[in-house]
Amino acid sequence: MRCKVFSALLLLFVTAVVQAATKRLFLYVNNNDFENSVSGFEVLPNGTLRRLPGSPFPTGGLAGRTPNLNSIAVSKKGRMLFVTNNMDNTLSGFYIQSDGSLRRFAVVSTGGMSPTGVVSNKRGTRVLVANTGSDNIAVFEVANGQIRPVAGSPFAASNGPVGLVLNKPGTVLFCSNQFTSGVSSFSVDSSGRVKLIGTFPTLGLQQQGLALQRKGALLYVTGMASNTVSVLSVDLNTGQMKLVEGAPFYTDGDKPLDVAVEPGGRFVYVSNSNSGTITAYETVQGGGLRKLQGSPFLATGVGPAGMVFDSSGSLLFVVNGGFGGSKDVSVYKRDSSGRLQPVGSPISTGSIGIPSGITLVELD
């Protein structure tokens, strides 16, 4: 009996080791080029990047060569990637192949103007898009290689919706607003219809990047015109929000575009696109932020914009496509104190666009 138990445990251990060894991490960037494309990279074990064969992959849409943050999203379970094209007002869908390469399966109209932020539910069966220029949110169902708008889409939103994040069940949507000093929340019903819950003040100006720390129920949003990051405590079931004490917090940098929270929730980072720096904070009791000593830190590329952490929180990837950006991707290793150290040199996206949307997916 003991031998059988031992053999079963050994088999589980070996299987876990093999699965861990076969997992591959891929990084994607929306190049926001006129003839738009997505650059794809494999993340090597040492954290450096290798451009995928065939990259950049054409989206079939047109973009405007202006920073288009939050404009790319993945569904790991559905093995799909979605990209907005803000010049011809379209959404592109791709299948992610086992080697990380992309195969486009659809390009559809968003029904609005200047689409920016895009978010997918976990299964990849529903996609939501922020149409910044027409103040509405488009909702699509994805099935059988087709992307179709739900009945009534697009739905009215606040003034200048930009970034989107969903709660885990996909029933509450949070949205940063470019032209109001607030963030909005919406209910999403079973048919995909979106209804405004409320717009809550951030005391920042020209909201851009948005990040949700689900474990602590905290929402972070950058104020590009006020050089701030606001923190709001949120009810993930009702969508109600309120500013934490001391918010907003100044970045000591210029034109902050994006915000990223390491998975453990202890450290928060903001990309200051115009000053070429990254501000690093440690969270304090109550949800407030305290800048790390020496922060903000000099970025290795020009115009740091979109940011994303790997699942371990040890690697931070930053695409340098903000104002006057260098059109490449930097990698940083985060130590236990929250400080960032560059990993190698930035790698070019291979595009002349203005890349600012970035995402990661880990495939088994």
pLDDT in tens, 142-189: 999 999 999 999 999 999 999 999 999 999 999 999 998 899 999 999
Q: Is the pLDDT of residue 322 over 80?
A: no
Q: Which residue has the tokens 């708008």?
A: 149
Closest C-alpha to 236, from 157, 165, 172: 172
Asked if 143 and 137 count as a contact pair (C-beta separation under 8 A), the reply is: no
Residue with tokens 């040199």: 345
Least confident of 95-99, 169-173, 205-209, 246-250: 205-209
CA–CA dist 40, 322 (Å, integer):
19
Q: What does the alpha-carbon distance between residue 215 and residue 213 come to, in Å, rounded to a whole number?
A: 6
Confidence grade of residue 130 (pLDDT, cut at 50, 70, 90): very high
At residue 11, the 3 state secondary structure works out as helix
Say what the pLDDT of residue 21 is: 52
Of 48 and 1, more confident:
48
Q: Which whole number is the average pLDDT over 253-257? A: 94
Mean pLDDT score, 123-130: 96
Nearest to 219, CA basis, from 252, 160, 162, 173: 173
Q: Which domains does the chain have, with CATH numbers?
A: 26-363 (2.130.10.10)
Contact 333, 317 (CB under 8 A): no
Give 2 or 349, the one with higher predicted confidence. Answer: 349
Q: Could you tell me the pLDDT band of residue 1, with boundaries at 50, 70 and 90?
A: low
Could you give the percent of the chain with pLDDT greater than 90? 87
Return mean pLDDT, the chain: 92
Asked whether residue 16 carries a pLDDT value surpassing 80, the answer given is no
Q: Check pLDDT > 50 for residue 76.
A: yes
Under the banding of pLDDT at 50, 70 and 90, the label for residue 288 is very high
Task: Say if residues 355 and 349 touch (Cβ distance below 8 Å).
Answer: yes
| Burial class of residue 288, CB neighbours in 10 A (0-12, 13-18, 19+) | middle
What was the pLDDT predicted at 12? 43
- DSSP codes joined into one string, 295-342: PSEEPSSSSEEEEEE-TTSSEEEEEE-STT--SEEEEEEE-TTS-EEE
- Mean pLDDT on 289-304: 96
The pLDDT of residue 18 is above 70: no
The CA dihedral of 298, 301, 304, 307, to the nearest 10 degrees, is -100
- pLDDT higher than 50, residue 14: no
pLDDT of the residue at 13: 46
In 3-state terms, what secondary structure has residue 81?
strand
- Cβ neighbours for 340, distance < 8 A, ≥ 6 positions apart: 269, 278, 280, 297, 316, 332, 333, 334
